[in-house]
Amino acid sequence: MKQEIDEELRFHVEQRTAENIANGMPRDEATREARRRFGNVQSVREECRETRGASFGETTLQDIRFGLRMLWKNPGFATVAVLTLALGIGACTAIFSLVNGVLLRALPYDQPGQLVQLWEDPSGKGQDRNSVAGAQFADWKEQVTSMEGISVVRRVNLNLTGEGRPERLSVHKVSADYLQILRLQPFLGRGFLPDEDQPGKDRVVVLTHRLWREHFGGATNLVGQAVRLDSQSYTVIGILPAKPQLPIECDALTPFVFGSESWHRSRSDHRLRVIGRLKSGVTLEQARAEMAAITQRLKPSYPSWKKDWGVAVVPMHEQLTGAIRPQLWVLFGAVGFVLLIACANVAGLLLARMAARQKEMAIRAALGAGRWRVIRQLLTESVLLSMLGGGLGLVLAFWGVNLFTKLSADNLPRVAEVGVDASALGFALLMSLGTGVAFGLAPALHLARPDLTGALKQEGRASRSGSGRLRGALIIAEVALALMLLAGAGLMLKTLFRLQAVPSGFNPHGVLAMDMSLDDTKYPAGDRRAAFVRQIIQRIESLPGVEAAGTATTLPMSGATDSSVRAESRPDLEEFYIGSDYDLVSGDYFPAMGIPLLKGRRFTERDDSRSAPRVAILNEALAKKIFPNEDPLGQRVRFWGESWEVAGVVGNVRQRGLDRESKEHIYLPQAFSPFPCSLVVRTKVPPMALADVCRKEILMMDSDQPISNIRTLEQIVAGSASQRRLMLVLLGLFAGAAMLLAAIGLYGTMAYAVSQRTREIGIRMALGAQRGEVLLQVMRQGLKLTFLGVALGLVGAFALTRVLAHLLFEVTPQDPFTFVGVAVLLVAVALIACWLPARRAMKINPMEALRSE
Amino acid sequence: MATTKAELLQGTLDLLILKTLAAGAMHGYSIAQRIQQRSDDVLVVEEGSLYPCLYRMEEKGWISAEWGKSENNRRAKFYALTRSGRKQLEEETAIWERVHRAITLVLQAA
């Protein structure tokens, strides 16, 4: 600016000089004449500058410099404010990163909006999602025109053997065009050819990047080589890229050969997941209409009990993230509350500082600063604060997101895509600006009001009326918000207590569990496999420290498989069939799990053979339902088309989760199992201590037999509540932060009020007021705000906690015990926050107070 | 007395600058030169007051400034008339003419 003026003026003088010379003047005289004619350069320059006024940028820079100086002079205030904001903005940014990465951002595939999953829908109204029967898939594939392609996804476990430790892989058998549908290119090699899902051509495998790196050390020459899966040789044809991952994670892909097993042709055996891609230009509604039409056309060929079934076409994004969506929004709302409290707190601090600055502002106004100019300067200061807070908050967010993704890797879909990225940075910036204005505006407006003489005369003492009311309102709001968060956290806490108190029907303490898939070629389902499993159990039971060991197809909390059963004495009519979960168990499964035997006997080695007489064990619920008034022992039931004699009755188990009532359950001997199994070992020592010993024992029997997922039964039970626990931890964290901030705010307000009233209190005491009365009076003022906040918060909580309803267990969203509990907690904290300043007020020495001002 | 004279001068200078710039963009020096030439050397612009006047007019939005190359290829600041400057020129010309007429009438009557 200054240089520009100088340059312009210099140009003028030099032009004049040049002309003078051209008119015949000698050089030095020409210069002198030009200067004389121009007049005083200095004063012209000044005049120009003043005319121009300072630019927007310069003013802002000035304000920032001034703001920084002000903060530097009040390090205590600055630290508290910046930390408070960092907490609020950091938490908000962290949760935003989750919401953005999981819910908002599109899936990382080409045209992700076209990807869908298809389900059979028993409700017929698009509400249920049931796996798809093989014949159903074949029908769809033949008739559908609104999709580019549809592919099955069938999850199986195969044992990878050969070099290195055998590993149990989760393999997806998929249609040949699966990768085309996702539009995923292998990172090395190729995908499946169109005919590779035909019989005889299917011994090819595509590995995920993770498996390739971790098991094969990332060897680039692996493509084209053979690997052994369940004793069969497969050629590795491709390696998938590290990113994006498959929508449903697994270790490897092999072709699904349609028709290779009898259930593929069934319309009532539901084992498949199906994904598809809409043709471009086709809407979801059109695809749904077409699938409904196809279903209508095919109705006659369906079994009669499926006559009301429909098809659900679910966008892939909704399929993957739908379950977590409400929880993430709840968390986002919760951090929003924390941020609001942080803002209210800082606004309170700023209001308190007004006292000291009222005079400063009055002087500015007296010197001609406009109202908006003052507001602008104050806002610059508050935005400066919030930016500092935001910067520190980002560090918090980075750290928090890292921690969170580690903690919740199993509970959060798309967790690999979550991170603090550009949009999170943008969000943090916006939040900082927004909060800076939000908490700065009220104090700024307040401070900038043109009451010059009053402020100048007051000698820097705050006028209590306006700012006091505003601070009071802020405190009430903070307490109310904190109470709502506490109520949410309290409800989650009670839910977890309730879950822990539920009788699970088994004893999870001191039990080791692991998963095992048996090679179909080496151990075909039947007696040979049963004998191998029995041998494993015997060897493990003979280990020191082991009490009992057994296997089952599905451990509690890990899902369930169901079918239907009928008492043989009843006629073969649909109405006499009872839906029941089933499990195939062997060895000492019941004692190992701690499931009590109520009647009869357990399975013995003699029962564990396909040529032995069929015997079954019922749980109590099934026994009561199927033989209401008879002794079930010795009775016969029809299951899987065969007749089974009831040998025993065991206690009920919460198979499907602690929050689900136990269902009817039938147990059959392991020899009849075509499925992989899980091994449970009850130990006298800490279970994990035996993990390696068990693994080695099994490898000694068959060096190609991998086991996977070694964990304790307690971990399985804890895992079943992990989503709720995560919600509790996060809500608890946010609620705790909110309560702390509200308490700090309350303390600050009361302390400030006391410091303002020192003189008044001194006079009262000089006039004979008792110390106790002073204490009470200050406490009363603080508690009035608290009670108002608590009342408001209770109303809010009453309205809001229903968003948690789907996570609660045996607790209503308006649980009075919880509400009263958190209210009492909050009041107790508020009491402490008020008591500290009140005690100071009580200790005021009247003589000193009167002399002080 | 002194103030009225200054105001008159200032107002007149504005008008002269606006009129001069109506012919096209030019830098401060040539504005001063042009005014002097056009008035047959009767009006000599006080150079010291030219620049604050230009800055004031720029601030008011009547003229805009831009750095460019002068005829002898040196960096110079060029001023140009803006839309509102053109309007201002018309208004001030009209006022000037009215005043001029009025003064002439008074002088003729005497």
pLDDT of A435-457, one tens digit each? Answer: 888 888 877 877 766 555 555 55
**A599 and A578 Cβ atoms separated by less than 8 Å:** no
Above 90 in pLDDT, residue A537?
A: yes
Res A33: pLDDT: 87
Q: How confident is the model at residue A462 (pLDDT cuts 50, 70, 90)?
A: very low
**A680 and A510 Cβ atoms separated by less than 8 Å:** no
Which H or E element spans position A46? helix A41-52
**Helices marked H in A606-711 — which ranges?**
620-626, 691-701
Radius of gyration (C-alpha) of chain A in whole angstroms: 38
Q: In chain B, which residues have their Cβ closer than 8 Å to the Cβ of A11?
A: 27-29, 70, 74-77
Check A12 against B28: CB less than 8 A apart: yes
Q: What is the pLDDT of residues A620-676, one digit of tens each?
A: 999 999 999 899 999 999 998 899 999 999 999 999 889 888 899 999 999 998 888
Residues 6+ apart with CB under 8 A from B99: none
Res A670: pLDDT: 92
Res A446: pLDDT: 74
Check B29 against A52: CB less than 8 A apart: no
**CA distance linking residue B56 with residue B13, whole number of Å:** 12
Residues 6+ apart with CB under 8 A from A334: A95, A485, A488, A730, A731, A734, A735
ipTM of predicted complex = 0.86
Residue of higher predicted confidence among A448 and A574? A574
Q: In chain A, which residues have their Cβ closer than 8 Å to the Cβ of B77?
A: 4, 7-8, 11
Q: How confident is the model at residue A466 (pLDDT cuts 50, 70, 90)?
A: low
**What is the CATH code of the structural domain delimited by B12-108?**
1.10.10.10
A4 interfacial to chain B (CB closer than 8 Å): yes
Above 80 in pLDDT, residue A359?
A: no
Res A54: pLDDT: 61
Angle between helices A758-766 and A771-800 (to 10 degrees): 130
Above 50 in pLDDT, residue A461?
A: no
Query: Euclidean distance between the first and final Cα of chain A, in Å?
Result: 48
Q: What is the pLDDT of residues A274-296, one digit of tens each?
A: 999 999 999 999 999 999 999 99
Looking at residue A370, what DSSP letter applies?
A: -
Residue of higher predicted confidence among A46 and A784? A784
- Token readout for A37 is 């004619």
Overall average pLDDT of the A337-354 stretch? 86
Alpha-carbon distances of A465 from A162, A456, A765, rounded to whole Å? 83, 17, 23
Q: What is the pLDDT of residues B41-69, one digit of tens each?
A: 777 777 778 888 888 888 888 999 888 88
Burial of A74 (0-12, 13-18, 19+ CB in 10 A): middle
Q: How many CB atoms within 10 Å of residue A670?
A: 27
Res A853: pLDDT: 53
**A826 and A489 Cβ atoms separated by less than 8 Å:** no
Residues 6+ apart with CB under 8 A from A594: A506, A507, A508, A511, A682
Res A110: pLDDT: 92
Q: In chain A, which residues have their Cβ closer than 8 Å to the Cβ of B28?
A: 8, 11-12
Q: Which of A77-81, A110-114, A143-147, A547-551 has the lowest mean pLDDT?
A: A77-81
pTM here is: 0.75
Q: How confident is the model at residue B2 (pLDDT cuts 50, 70, 90)?
A: very low
Residue of higher predicted confidence among A394 and A418? A394
Ramachandran region, residue A812 (left: φ > 0; alpha: ψ -120 to 50; beta: rest): beta
B80 interfacial to chain A (CB closer than 8 Å): no
Q: Are strands A578-587 and A665-669 parallel, antiparallel or unpaired?
A: parallel
- Token readout for B56 is 């004031």
DSSP β-bridge partners for residue A574: none
**CA distance linking residue A236 with residue A206, whole number of Å:** 6
Alpha-carbon distances of A24 from A30, A305, B33, B44, rounded to whole Å? 9, 116, 18, 21
Res A63: pLDDT: 81
Res A394: pLDDT: 93
**A144 and A294 Cβ atoms separated by less than 8 Å:** yes
* Distance between A3 CA and the closest CA of chain B, angstroms: 12
Above 60 in pLDDT, residue A460?
A: no
Tell me which chain A residue has its CA closest to the CA of residue B77: A8
Res A463: pLDDT: 47
Above 60 in pLDDT, residue A464?
A: no
**A198 and A257 Cβ atoms separated by less than 8 Å:** yes
Check A15 against B29: CB less than 8 A apart: yes
Residues 6+ apart with CB under 8 A from B24: B80
Q: How confident is the model at residue A775 (pLDDT cuts 50, 70, 90)?
A: confident
SS3 of A537-553: HHHHHCCCCEEEEEEEC
Res A731: pLDDT: 92
Overall average pLDDT of the A196-224 stretch? 92
**CA distance linking residue B17 with residue B11, whole number of Å:** 10
**CA distance linking residue B33 with residue B45, whole number of Å:** 8
Nearest CB partner across the interface for A52, out of B55, B72, B77: B55
Looking at residue A254, what DSSP letter applies?
A: E
Above 90 in pLDDT, residue A351?
A: no
Q: How many CB atoms within 10 Å of residue A168?
A: 20
Nearest CB partner across the interface for B47, out of A37, A48, A52: A37
Residue of higher predicted confidence among A136 and A269? A136
SS3 of A223-236: CCCEEEECCEEEEE
Q: What is the pLDDT of residues A148-207, one digit of tens each?
A: 999 999 999 999 998 778 999 999 999 999 999 999 999 999 999 999 999 989 999 999
**Mean pLDDT, all residues of chain A:** 88
A&B contacts, CB < 8 Å? 54
* Distance between A10 CA and the closest CA of chain B, angstroms: 10
**Which of these, A178, A183, A177, lies nearest to A112 by C-alpha position?**
A183
Overall average pLDDT of the A516-538 stretch? 90
> Residue A57 half-sphere exposure, CB side, CA atoms within 13 Å?
1
Check A48 against B76: CB less than 8 A apart: no
Tell me which chain B residue has its CA closest to the CA of residue A54: B59
Strand runs labelled E in A501-639: 511-516, 546-552, 561-567, 578-587, 597-600, 615-619, 636-639
Q: What is the pLDDT of residues A33-86, one digit of tens each?
A: 888 888 888 888 887 777 766 666 677 787 888 888 888 888 888 888 899 999
Nearest CB partner across the interface for A38, out of B47, B58, B77: B47
B28 interfacial to chain A (CB closer than 8 Å): yes
Check B59 against A53: CB less than 8 A apart: yes
**A117 and A152 Cβ atoms separated by less than 8 Å:** no
CA A567 distance to own-chain centroid:
46
Q: In chain A, which residues have their Cβ closer than 8 Å to the Cβ of B56?
A: 51
Percent of chain A whose predicted confidence (pLDDT) is above 90: 50
